[in-house]
Homo-oligomer: A and B are copies of this chain.
Amino acid sequence: MIVILKSDTASQSVQELVTNFKSFGLDVHISQGSTHTILGLIGDTGRLDMDQIRMFNCVEDVKRIQEPFKNANRKFHPLNTVIPVKDAAIGGGSLTVIAGPCSVESEEQIITVARSVKSSGAKLLRGGAFKPRTSPYAFQGLREEGIRLLLEAKKDTGLPIVTEIMDLSQLDLFAEVDVIQVGARNMQNFELLKQLGHTDKPILLKRGLANTYQELLMSAEYIMAFGNEQVILCERGIRTFETYTRNTLDISAIPVLKKLSHLPVVIDPSHSAGVAEFVPQLSMAAVAAGCDGLMIEVHNNPPCALCDGVQSLTQEQFAALMPRLSRLEAALQEA
């Protein structure tokens, strides 16, 4: 870590600051420039709080050289992490597709969709039981019953299931869930992350609407620091000034996160676009950019048959997309 001092800092202040840093067990290199003094801090700077250091009035700026995340850092873990979930191996080199409805609505619905997406090639079933809704007056999900129905669908099809936890108090209900999803709004719910760090289940961690790559990796670090190394990173669109699409898919997240971290990266094109019609192109783009998996909303029962078409892909649209993704994946392996 580099600490740049203001140009007029008295040497006594410099000494005080150096003593302060040494009290944290750090080595300090002092570099006296013509206008500024620069301190190089050497040692375990991961525990230092940059904002705390900026608070010193004699400090002009602070710059980290090493990322503050360790467990999630590719530098210390060069090989890709592979997360096995039944027959799937997320991050293992081939594309894993997670599919299913936004919300679990009924046993018939979830089993119908589960069978359909399985036959199209999905490796995991997704479905919302606890639903984070902006409005208290909107449908909040089937909750406990929703989990039960997902487990029925799992029994019927053999597909492992992914579903979202919204609060620690729900954790017991997730005993048989295969992958626990942390939604974008809970990405910095640190108490939840800590507890998930004590479980032995893979965690699909969604990037918050306005969170940076580093913040996402620090949230992964929370889970990993408490013992659970099975974290799947998920980009699902960020909030920008452009409102034509619900969110803006940040496609660069794929190469950047793969560079910074060894964790697998999954893309959610459905929430990014907010409309079904752009999901195929965004899926193709994500695969071409090197993602490890996709999480796609698929629904069996478009709300209005004559109007045929919903935000979720229909089962038929999903069935048509999957072979295109496979051919793309094959072409990329040659390319």
Binding site for B on A (CB under 8 A): 2, 4, 9-10, 12-13, 16-17, 20, 27, 29, 31, 33-36, 38, 40, 42, 46-47, 49, 51-52, 54-61, 63, 65-66, 68, 130, 132-140, 166-170, 185-186, 188-194, 209-210, 212-215, 218, 221-222, 225-226, 238-246, 248-252, 254-256, 259, 272-275, 277-278, 281-282, 284-290, 302-312, 323-324, 327-328, 330-332, 334-335
Contacts and interface: CB of A to CB of B under 8 A. Distances in A.
Given A254-B281, A288-B328, A308-B57, A212 B241 contact: yes
A289 B241 CA distance: 22
A33 B38 contact: no
A193 B166 CA distance: 12
A22 B296 CA distance: 31
Contacts of A275: 54
B40 A221 contact: no
A56 B250 CA distance: 26
A244 B221 contact: no
A137 B225 contact: yes
A312 B57 CA distance: 11
